[in-house]
Amino acid sequence: MGWFRGVRWEPEGRDFFVPVPLRPPIHPRPLGQPLTGHADCVFSVAFTADGRILATGSRDMTVRLWDVADPARPRQIGRPLTGHADSVRSVAFTPNGRTLATGSDDESVRLWDITDPSQPRSIGRPLTGHTTVVWSVAFTPDGRTLATGSHDKTVRLWDVTDPSRPRPISQPLAGHSSAVNAVAFTADGHTLATGSLDRTVRLWDAVDPALARPIGRPLTGHTDCVWSVAFTGDGRILASGSEDTTVRLWDVTDRSRPRSIGQPLTGHTSAVWSVAFTPDGRTLATGSHDKTVRLWDVTGPTQARPIGQPLTGHTGSVHSVAFTADGHTLATSSDDKTVRLWRMH
């Protein structure tokens, strides 16, 4: 029988003492050399579910695919994906890894067939409807619905069951009073979280995307715009990263009554651009304009604490962080035009 430690947590006002298996020690270290090739800032990174392919989106208007099956020896696959007429802000794979969505400053979203990563191809026409920058894209876990968040203050939902014939679902989701910078679904796809320039996070009932509607009141507490949101795998905790240099954790077990957990996580000295949980929900990574990545032990959300020293190496703002599905590898991207891979254990 393994070693355990107790974690006290009070979801929904109830006091629990939960035995949690001790994690293996985390000693992050860089893997190989930085991934180079982009000619400008790399805004977004995303892994396929099997962790073998990494997509990167850049201000240079391209998307690149990387073979990271051996993360110590990553290599670029084929030619860059071109077609966008401006910066690529966000990238996301469907769970089966066959389709990639990319959101751009050119106001459009493109879908790409990645069935053969060495020969990716654009699928159909770009998705249009947003009237300005598309900041963020995210698929539901079944890959049938795509959410897109824009500087036009709206979120749009798209039926991408047939990627060659995507179609908008219902009217755009409105409620934020400023740009929607981030979108993220829970693992069951029933709840969508959005973060905005208006300093709030909103939750949306997406059980039936055609009837998507806001849940409860906006989550408030940040004192500046919210750049990133992420759920734990069980959907009970939401993290939000902000221009105010902090990260907040929210108990969203009861979607209609979300509440802030503990004190904001502090340590970054500038905007927190990106947040991502390991699949087990016990580690949070945060990337910042201060050029560092921080790791946090959030096993006990009310007592979240930093893990080791900040990860350094990037020479520019860290825009995006993403874990592989096994949690063993972290990808980070930066203004310095590179992507770095880190081994967690």
Residue 322 falls inside a structural domain: yes
- The pTM of this model reads 0.92
80 touches 88 (CB < 8 A): no
Mean local confidence (pLDDT), 172-181: 98
From the number of C-beta atoms within 10 Å of its C-beta (0-12, 13-18, 19+), residue 73 rates as exposed
Residue 49 falls inside a structural domain: yes
Residue 24 falls inside a structural domain: no
In order of 53, 67, 103, 130, 150, the CA distances from 123 in angstroms are 19, 22, 14, 19, 21
Per-residue pLDDT at 11: 52
pLDDT value at 14 more than 80:
no
CATH code, domain carrying 40: 2.130.10.10
Residue 48 falls inside a structural domain: yes
Pairing of strands 75-81, 167-173: unpaired
Residue 228 falls inside a structural domain: yes
Per-residue pLDDT at 337: 98
Residue 7 falls inside a structural domain: no
Residue 14 falls inside a structural domain: no
In order of 4, 37, 39, 180, 266, the CA distances from 305 in angstroms are 18, 35, 36, 29, 10
Per-residue pLDDT at 15: 47
Per-residue pLDDT at 27: 86
- Domain span including residue 128: 29-343
In this predicted model, what pLDDT tens digit does every residue of 227-247 receive, in sequence order? 999 999 999 999 999 999 999
pLDDT value at 294 more than 80:
yes
For the record, the structure tokens of 116 come out as 């053969």
pLDDT value at 3 more than 70:
no
Domain count, the chain: 1
Residue 13 falls inside a structural domain: no
pLDDT band of 293, cuts 50, 70, 90: very high
